[in-house]
């Protein structure tokens, strides 16, 4: 990424954009976004753009943002951008990677192809991939970079809860638990989850002694909060001294944070991939490093 590149952002992500741009040594400018009474958007970009443009848009609350990206990316191309990179710290529509019932739409395929039609490169953090091995399979761009919040969250846990036992609330969290545990030699364990609905889950603790242990539940995303809350109640009933939560993506829909806190969880720590009061870690330096590593020669 050369210094002549430009990072474009929407006003609600101005703080993150400025941190990333400063760390990457590139300029940044806001995209003007007016919404008409009927819900349509009118965007305004700088009237002259460099060849290399980065657009920052986290895709929490994704539906309107996907339309914003369509307008911003196509508009940037018409104004001179030849190489477009999307920085989406949170990447939506990744969980539905297969049809679980006849007629179900595989949204990962559709949204992934859509983003690949707009951008040459993608940088994201801890995408919610399960049966798909790589980000390139989900979003087939020329360069797809997957970053993780687990190492930085592990550093935070090592400072605030030295000797903690890291516990994943379900099998899908095992990859992030393993990363964090390896970084500081934490003990680790993973629960088993059976989902019966968006807010109905059953949790089975691993056969392990939790008595007197400081537990940190760790996952890529917290949405409804019910899985973390149930795991917390079970761990405290099993004798845990304390339970905290560390997540990359603090979605916390509706009353999720209250649900978590009522379960006995003490502290909630998250990265700033999604702006939230629990943000304790900035991903800006990591994202900036990834931007600087992009190879312009491999882009069309």
Question: What is the predicted pLDDT for the residue at 192?
Answer: 87
CA distance 192 to 279: 27
Question: What is the predicted pLDDT for the residue at 210?
Answer: 94
- To the nearest 10 degrees (0 to 180), the angle between helices 174-184 and 150-160 is 50
6-147+283-298 and 150-281 agree in CATH topology: yes
Give me the architecture of the 6-147+283-298 domain, per CATH. Answer: 3-Layer(aba) Sandwich (3.40)
Question: What is the predicted pLDDT for the residue at 253?
Answer: 83
List the chain residues with pLDDT less than 70. 1-3, 195-201, 295-300
CA distance 120 to 83: 6
227 alpha-carbon distance from chain centroid: 18
Question: What is the predicted pLDDT for the residue at 28?
Answer: 96
Q: How far is CA 248 from CA 61, 95, 153, 251, 292, in A?
A: 16, 16, 8, 9, 22
Closest CA to 285 of 145, 158, 147: 147
CA distance 143 to 296: 10
Question: What is the predicted pLDDT for the residue at 21?
Answer: 97
CB neighbourhood size of 5 (10 A): 25
The answer as to CATH 3.40.50.2020 being correct for domain 150-281 is: yes
Question: What is the predicted pLDDT for the residue at 225?
Answer: 84
Q: Taking the model in full, what pTM does it have?
A: 0.92
Domain boundaries, given as residue ranges, for the chain: 6-147+283-298, 150-281
Q: What is the helix (H) or strand (E) element at residue 199, kind and residue range?
A: none
Residues 300 and 85: beta-carbon distance below 8 Å? no
Question: What is the predicted pLDDT for the residue at 289?
Answer: 96
DSSP secondary structure string for all residues of 59-106: -SSHHHHHHHHHHHHHHHHHTT--EEEEEESS--S-S--S-SSTT---
């Amino acid at each position: 990424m050369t210094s002549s590149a430009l990072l474009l952002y929407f006003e609600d992500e101005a703080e993150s954009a400025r941190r990333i741009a400063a760390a990457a040594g590139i300029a940044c400018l806001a995209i003007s976004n007016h919404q008409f009474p009927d819900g349509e958007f009118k965007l305004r970009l700088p009237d002259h753009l460099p060849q290399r443009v980065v657009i920052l848009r986290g895709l929490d609350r994704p539906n309107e943002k996907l339309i914003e990206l369509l307008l911003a990316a196509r508009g940037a191309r018409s104004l001179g951008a030849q190489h477009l990179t999307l920085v989406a710290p949170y990447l939506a529509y990744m969980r539905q990677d297969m049809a679980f019932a006849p007629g179900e739409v595989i949204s990962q395929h559709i949204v992934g192809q859509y983003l690949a039609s707009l951008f040459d490169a993608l940088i994201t953090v801890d995408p919610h991939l399960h049966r798909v091995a790589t980000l390139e399979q989900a979003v087939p761009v020329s360069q797809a970079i997957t970053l993780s919040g687990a190492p930085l969250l592990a550093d935070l846990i090592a400072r605030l809860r030295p000797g903690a036992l890291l516990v994943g609330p379900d099998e899908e969290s095992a990859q992030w638990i393993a990363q964090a545990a390896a970084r500081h030699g934490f003990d680790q364990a993973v629960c088993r989850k059976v989902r019966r609905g968006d807010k109905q889950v059953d949790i089975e603790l691993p056969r392990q002694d939790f008595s007197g242990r400081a537990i940190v539940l760790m996952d890529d995303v917290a949405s409804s909060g019910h899985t973390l809350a149930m795991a917390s109640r079970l761990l405290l009933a099993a004798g845990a001294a304390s339970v905290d939560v560390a997540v990359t993506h603090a979605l916390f829909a509706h009353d999720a944070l209250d649900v978590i806190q009522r379960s006995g969880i003490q502290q909630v720590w998250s990265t700033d991939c999604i702006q939230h009061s629990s943000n304790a870690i900035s991903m800006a330096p990591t994202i900036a490093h990834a931007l600087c590593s992009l190879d312009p020669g491999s882009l069309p």
